[in-house]
Structure 1
Amino acid sequence: MVERASFDSYYGRPVVKAPAWEARDIAGYFFLGGLAGAGSVLAAALHAGGAHRTAAALKVTAVGSVGLATAALIHDLGVPSRFTHMLRVVKPSSPMSVGSWLLAVYGPFAGAAALSAVTGRAPRAGAAATGGAAFLGPAVATYTAVLAADTAVPAWHGAHRELPYVFAGSALAAASGAALLLGPRSETGVARATAVLGAVGEAAADHLMRRRLGSVATTLSEGRAGRLLRAARVLTAVGAALAPASGRFRAAGVGAGAALLAGSVCTRFGVFAAGVASAQDPAHTVGPQRARLAERAEQQPDAAG
């Protein structure tokens, strides 16, 4: 009998090289970009509804988040010129190129919107900048998921359909949490609804992602990634449960906001850790490949028939 084949690669090395990114920089970049992008969308909705204090707080949060996200990205790149050099060309097929241009265009919009909100000057220009930042916000919040899924990392690439929705839900929950934490109770009606919407959307997308990943989904429930993602589910659920009560109790708003923000952080760091773990284990690369080959072989018509 032939022994069962192992998934070890030559010399015991993984088949796919694990990402060289620093978790603090890139997972933090994932979170901050999501908070900024979703925050701009929510700020525009609040601005239109007359909740100017909460909208202003989110605009400042958005510009601060995108600034820190850019700094984290540049720190991971090592040399600032590596970021600016990516702006020399536009390559729609490259998520990194598109993302660099998104940050470069979104940043000034977010900055102008925040400056107008804080100073009270140029309200028309501020409103236009708010609209521009909100228009680009969804892409800023989710393009990092596309960037990760475009790699060969099994846990990210295998979830290329669901991961942007996981990030979108997480980003909306985080932005809602910031609004509940920073805004007055009278202006948090929209944020209370979007907090629940973001939490439910993230949970649904996470469930579908795990189903699609199959055996690779174990990386989402084991080790560091498992601990982080379990904490994310608990924190996000607690935040969504407290959010409706924030209209009556300030403490509920603070608790909900802190829990939702912390849950979003855990989601991004958990997904990052799962990707690294999946790349380090050859079984998560070879197993899905063999399953796809077997599925294609079954779908091929019988030549003898």
Structure 2
Amino acid sequence: MQQDLQTHKPGAADRPYQGVGYYGQPALKASPFGWKTSGYIFLAGMSGSAQILGTAADLFGGPGMEKTARNARHVAMIGATLGPLLLIGDLHTPSRWYNMLRIFRRTSPMSIGSYILSGFGAFSAVTAAADWIGMKRVARVTQVPAALAGAGMSVYTAALLSSTSTPLWAAAPRLLAVRFGSSAMACGAAALSLGERIDGRPGNAERLDRVAMVASAVDLAASLASRREYEADHVAAPLEQGALGAVHKIGAIAVGAGIPLVCHAINAGRRRPSAALSVLGSLAVLAGGMALRTAILRAGNRSAERPADYFRFARTPPNTLNERKRTLLPDTAARRVLP
């Protein structure tokens, strides 16, 4: 053996490896979610919250809110129709939708979301059809489960994103749900307010504007809290820098929450609220709602491509705002497919 070592001559096997290694490579695979998924999440939240508001208007709003309830059912049907088309288009294979409905897992946000969407679409369709043909009693019964499913539509996508290993999505699950839910409620109220303005019912529009104002305030507060959470977990950079940072800070926060708060607050202090401010606030809410979903999805994908963010996040112990145990598996980041 000693003789072999003495006669050994350095060769190719002894040279240090000079090729590409794992250092600096992404530990996760970014999700395939694009604009279709962003559009679906926006429509799902808006239509779900519109159904909630329409049910509340029908049950507690009195005779003056009957047409508001009908408009809400129409908005819900638009979301229940266009949203799944965007979703199935993003899944690429329509049979995946059928496969997701074959089983039910109470621990899977994807499985639960599939049934929430299916139930919302079915009950919303029955409610809208019954209202259209004059079967008011049937509509008043089926609108209740439609509204319950609408509540799930407003927030379940946040739970689904948070259950992945993508750092930005998993960092603040509860706050992400609050942001999606409050933004969805503001968007639903804004869409219905615009309909009331078009139909010449400014009084109803003012009620809806107040709902949008409160929801926007909650959204703004959750946005600020989320930022602190992201910074504490070292995952804030994709949502704060570059073009996505501008979309988030200007589009989602300033336009989506700031402008509506100012417009509706001014109108709330006036004897004769301005229709122009009401319309401006409603349009800003809708634009900001879409900007929020776009920024969150794209920034999440970018955070998955930043290995330093992932490893820092995986080593960070839970803080007081997020006591959830993080068990992140590198090979599961993009296995999740949105229903």
Mean alpha-carbon deviation: is it higher for 95-104 or for 238-247? 238-247
Residue of structure 1 in register with 2:307 after alignment: 282
* Alpha-carbon distance, 1:218 to partner: 2.0
Mean alpha-carbon deviation: is it higher for 48-57 or for 154-163? 48-57
Residue of structure 2 in register with 1:86 after alignment: 100
Which of 106, 111, 121 is residue 107 of structure 1 equivalent to?
121
Residue of structure 2 in register with 1:180 after alignment: 193
Which of 206, 224, 235 is residue 216 of structure 1 equivalent to?
235
* Alpha-carbon distance, 1:291 to partner: 3.2
* Structure 2: runs of 5 or more not aligned: 1-19, 319-339
Residue of structure 1 in register with 2:138 after alignment: 125
RMSD: 1.9
* Structure 1: runs of 5 or more not aligned: 1-7, 294-305
Residue of structure 2 in register with 1:267 after alignment: 292
Q: Trace 1:210-249 onto structure 2 (pairs within 5 A).
A: 210-214=227-231, 215-230=234-249, 231-236=251-256, 237-243=258-264, 245=267, 248-249=273-274
* Alpha-carbon distance, 1:93 to partner: 1.2
Task: Give a deviation string over 1:110-149, Cα, whole Å, max 9, x none.
Answer: 11222234x2510011111221211221111100000000
Which of 178, 183, 202 is residue 219 of structure 2 equivalent to?
202
C-alpha distance in 2, partners of 1:120/1:185? Answer: 27
* Alpha-carbon distance, 1:251 to partner: 2.3
Mean alpha-carbon deviation: is it higher for 241-250 or for 197-206? 241-250
Give 3-state SS (helix, strand or coil) of 2:192's partner: helix
* C-alpha contact 2:193 2:206 (8 A) present in aligned 1: no
Which of 52, 75, 84 is residue 41 of structure 1 equivalent to?
52
Task: Give a deviation string over 1:200-226, Cα, whole Å, max 9, x none.
Answer: 111111122221222211222112321
C-alpha distance in 2, partners of 1:143/1:9? Answer: 39
Alpha-carbon distance change, 249 to 120 in structure 1, aligned in 2, over 3 angstroms: farther
* Alpha-carbon distance, 1:41 to partner: 0.8
Residue of structure 2 in register with 1:76 after alignment: 90
Residue of structure 2 in register with 1:24 after alignment: 35
Which of 4, 13, 19 is residue 25 of structure 2 equivalent to?
13
C-alpha distance in 1, partners of 2:127/2:264? Answer: 27
Task: Give the number of the structure whose alpha-carbon radius of gyration is greater.
Answer: 2
C-alpha distance in 2, partners of 1:217/1:174? Answer: 25
C-alpha distance in 1, partners of 2:205/2:21? Answer: 54
C-alpha distance in 1, partners of 2:161/2:240? Answer: 19
Alpha-carbon distance change, 263 to 9 in structure 1, aligned in 2, over 3 angstroms: farther
C-alpha distance in 2, partners of 1:114/1:223? Answer: 43
C-alpha distance in 1, partners of 2:186/2:42? Answer: 11
Give 3-state SS (helix, strand or coil) of 2:235's partner: helix
Task: Give a deviation string over 1:34-67, Cα, whole Å, max 9, x none.
Answer: 1111111111112220312222112111111121
Aligned residues: 284
Alpha-carbon distance change, 203 to 91 in structure 1, aligned in 2, over 3 angstroms: same
Aligned residue type for 1:271: I
Instruction: Tell me the TM-score normalized by structure 2.
Output: 0.79
Mean alpha-carbon deviation: is it higher for 255-264 or for 234-243? 234-243
Alpha-carbon distance change, 104 to 235 in structure 1, aligned in 2, over 3 angstroms: same
Which of 150, 157, 168 is residue 144 of structure 1 equivalent to?
157
C-alpha distance in 1, partners of 2:115/2:21? Answer: 38
Instruction: Tell me the TM-score normalized by structure 1.
Output: 0.88
Task: Give a deviation string over 1:64-85, Cα, whole Å, max 9, x none.
Answer: 1121111111111111111011
Residue of structure 1 in register with 2:109 after alignment: 95
